[in-house]
Amino acid sequence: MLSHLTFSDAVRHQANGIPSFALDSPPMDVFLASPRGFCAGVDLAVDIVDLAIQQYGTPVYVKHQIVHNPKVVADVEAKGAITVEDVEEVPEGSVVVFSAHGSPPSDYMKAKQRSLTVLDATCPLVTRVHNEAKKYAKEGKKIVLVGHAGHQEVIGTTGQADMQVINELDDWDLPHWDEETEVAVLTQTTLSVDDTALAVSKIKASHPNAVVRNDICYATTNRQAAATELADLTDLVLVIGAQNSSNCNRLKDVAIKKGVPAFLINGPEELDSEWLKGVERIGITSGASTPEKQVKAVIEALKPENVFRVGPGEETTTFAIPRSLRSLVDDSSRRSKDEMIPDEDY
């Protein structure tokens, strides 16, 4: 779906907290993906850190980056959060928030040993994968996880049960299991929809009775679909987000596979004028952990003549606050920590 929006002079000069940055570039149109940016899991995680600070005071510790975006991490740290990579770095008796990506059981054991108050900001869709892993392990199935070893989500999932991890982007082979071996296939939630489907087909070729869970989340799926449409309409695609964000990198891959040059940048300061030579139509999208103010800053730097919205529109999914913090907020009136700027204001 494509709709025309007017780029307002009034918003061109307000970077919403990000320093202004402008390029001398030829006239161009921007095609803006919708949905883009914060998903329900990211909203929930940032809410939990904010409410933890409100409930317990500072400092509140966060195990791993709360989400994979340096600007979001900087924002929560400015409020009194302290990011650590290991539970053992958290002083005994403190409050710790476990990041949205999920954590292995060993982290919860360490927290108990240190008498920590744990607030779990794991995305509910990641928790679902953890529960699937435990279920299939109890049933005696061999578990295959399609995912990227070393990513925090995969570290959390592989801690739930013994499993074989395969990277859908690499060449791989399964262990030589008998054809009768019962196999269950799980996936990281932020993978390429198309690449994962190919990996699953390869698994099914040798284990046709394998149980396959489609664990790629709604936000990943929707953003990749919008990015595909975006690539069909533009000469260049810019993905706004962090280099260590899996879902941002997959959005870039989607455009490149459609034959369109694509770059992953964290803000307008990373724009390269060489990319824009001869470009009349630029597509812009952002990953599920990217604040809208970063998108806005890039659009302002480009100074397009027109902005066109591409895609079905923004999502309305929300996840409930944990019971331990629910008294501090009315779920019916919760608003995103990243207030989406109406597309009509671009």
Whether the CB-CB separation of 346 and 7 falls below 8 Å is answered with: yes
Return d(Cα 79, Cα 42) in angstroms, integer.
Answer: 17
Residue 277: burial class (beta carbons within 10 Å; 0-12, 13-18, 19+): exposed
Q: What is the pLDDT of residues 81-131, one digit of tens each?
A: 999 999 999 999 999 999 999 999 999 999 999 999 999 999 999 999 999
Cα-trace Rg, the chain: 21
Mean of per-residue pLDDT scores for the chain:
90
Structure tokens at 208: 């046709």
Q: What is the pLDDT of residue 342?
A: 53
CA 63 to chain centroid, in Å, comes to: 17
Read out DSSP for 300-336? HHH--SEEEEESS-------PPPHHHHTT--GGG---
Residue in the structure block whose two tokens are 């940055």: 21
Strand, coil or helix: 206: helix
Return d(Cα 36, Cα 226) in angstroms, integer.
Answer: 8
The count of C-alpha atoms lying within 13 angstroms of the C-alpha of 18, restricted to the half-sphere facing its C-beta, is: 23
What is the pLDDT confidence band of residue 327, given thresholds at 50, 70 and 90?
confident
3-state secondary structure 214-231: CCCCHHHHHHHHHHHHHH
Q: Does domain 2-39+218-328 have CATH number 3.40.50.970?
A: no
Q: What is the pLDDT of residues 268-308, one digit of tens each?
A: 999 999 999 999 999 999 999 999 999 999 999 999 999 99
Return d(Cα 75, Cα 237) in angstroms, integer.
Answer: 27
Q: What is the pLDDT of residues 224-272, one digit of tens each?
A: 999 999 999 999 999 999 999 999 999 999 999 999 999 999 999 999 9
Whether the CB-CB separation of 220 and 150 falls below 8 Å is answered with: no
Q: For the chain, where do the domains classified as CATH 3.40.50.11270 start and end?
A: 40-123
Read out DSSP for 92-150? TT-EEEE-TT---HHHHHHHHHTT-EEEE---HHHHHHHHHHHHHHHTT-EEEEES-TT
Q: What is the pLDDT of residue 328?
A: 74
Residue 169 has pLDDT above 70, yes or no: yes
Residue 180: active-site member: no
- Using CA of residue 39, residue 42, residue 46, residue 48, what is the dihedral sign? positive
Whether the CB-CB separation of 106 and 63 falls below 8 Å is answered with: no
Strand, coil or helix: 282: strand
Return d(Cα 86, Cα 22) in angstroms, integer.
Answer: 40
Residue 132 has pLDDT above 70, yes or no: yes
Residue closest to 266 by CA, chosen among 69, 32, 14: 69
What is the pLDDT confidence band of residue 329, given thresholds at 50, 70 and 90?
confident
| Better-scored residue on pLDDT, 283 or 171 | 283
What is the pLDDT confidence band of residue 10, given thresholds at 50, 70 and 90?
very low
- CATH topology assigned to domain 125-212: Cobalt-precorrin-4 Transmethylase; domain 1 (3.40.1010)
The count of C-alpha atoms lying within 13 angstroms of the C-alpha of 73, restricted to the half-sphere facing its C-beta, is: 19
Return d(Cα 253, Cα 77) in angstroms, integer.
Answer: 31
Q: For the chain, where do the domains classified as CATH 3.40.1010.20 start and end?
A: 2-39+218-328, 125-212
What is the pLDDT confidence band of residue 324, given thresholds at 50, 70 and 90?
confident
- Contacting residues for 328 by C-beta, under 8 A, at least 6 apart: 51, 54, 55, 321
Encode burial over 69-99: b for 16+ CB neighbours within 10 A, e otherwise: bebbbebbeeeebbbeeebeebeeebbbbbb
Q: According to DSSP H, which parts of 148-217 are helical?
A: 152-158, 193-206
**Which one of 153, 168, 229, 300 is the catalytic residue?**
153
When the candidates are 3.40.50.12660, 2.120.10.30, 3.40.50.11270, 3.40.50.720, the CATH number that belongs to 40-123 is 3.40.50.11270
This prediction has a pTM of 0.88
